[in-house]
Amino acid sequence: MKVWLCIIVFTSFSPIQAMQDNTLQEDSFPRIETPAKESPTGHSIYKQEYGLCLMAKGEVKEKAFEIQQIYKDKYPQIPSIYPHITLLQGRFDDNSFLEMRKHAQDIASFSKGQKIVMENSVSPGGGGNTFWNIKGLNTVESHVPTHVEWLQKLNHQLSEKLDPVLPMKQVLDGLEAGKADKDLVEKYGRDFNVPGSHHPHITVAYSVQDVGIAKNLKINTLSFTPQGITLVKIDCVGNVAKDIETFLFKS
């Protein structure tokens, strides 16, 4: 059994008020501290981690919660998850946080939401997690579904525009294990932010991969159309800790 340990230091922080004041002081961010360890650039690690996500809706959200509960019935120690597809994630400080918000708002305002179709099964994912992938990720280039192209484009637009600060501990562990490229991680914040490396999915179980449960799940073809790009605060296991603001897609 894995145990997640994080020390959360809460401070008074309102992103909206800070944006209205046009200033964000580094000490005003709630910090989730990770064990002392040095980054590739020689700086110590904090966790001021934020994500840009598409929040699941309707039947997809309900099914994700249902699947999650099946895993939690057998593995009660795993954390609860709010169903979402991550477009970009990283640790952003004052100015880079404001840039992230601005670019996400701009990109959303010029993008029209697309219907996202999910797979009929779950499968093992990175980090020992269980993923519910979007349909069509492994198709040949000439037959890539529209929703896959759209998601990859959103990730590419955000990754090219935004510059996260130092990478989180999980990414550094990946570097040490030879599973990530140092220069690309330093540029994009973490490996799946690198254009071409993004594999959209909804995580339904953290640190659990149970073949028996996966095999017995019955999942019809389900889909949802996200309303916009949601800016969220990420907790110490990568889940949505706080929904801050949603930038609506154009109608």
User: What was the pLDDT predicted at 233?
Assistant: 86
Could you tell me if residue 109 is left (phi over 0), alpha (psi between -120 and 50 degrees) or otherwise beta?
alpha
Domains of the chain, residue spans: 48-248
Residues in the chain, how many? 251
Name the pTM for this structure: 0.74
* Reduced DSSP (H G I as helix, E B as strand, rest coil) percent helix, strand, coil of the chain, to 5: 35, 25, 40
Structure tokens at 119: 């797979």
Tell me which DSSP letter residue 169 carries. H
Nearest to 85 by CA among 244, 236, 227: 227
Neighbours of 152 (CB within 10 A): 18
For the domain spanning 48-248, the CATH number is 3.90.1140.10
Mean pLDDT, 10 residues at a time, the chain of 251 residues: 39 38 35 37 50 94 97 93 88 78 92 94 89 79 75 81 59 67 66 66 93 96 96 79 91 81
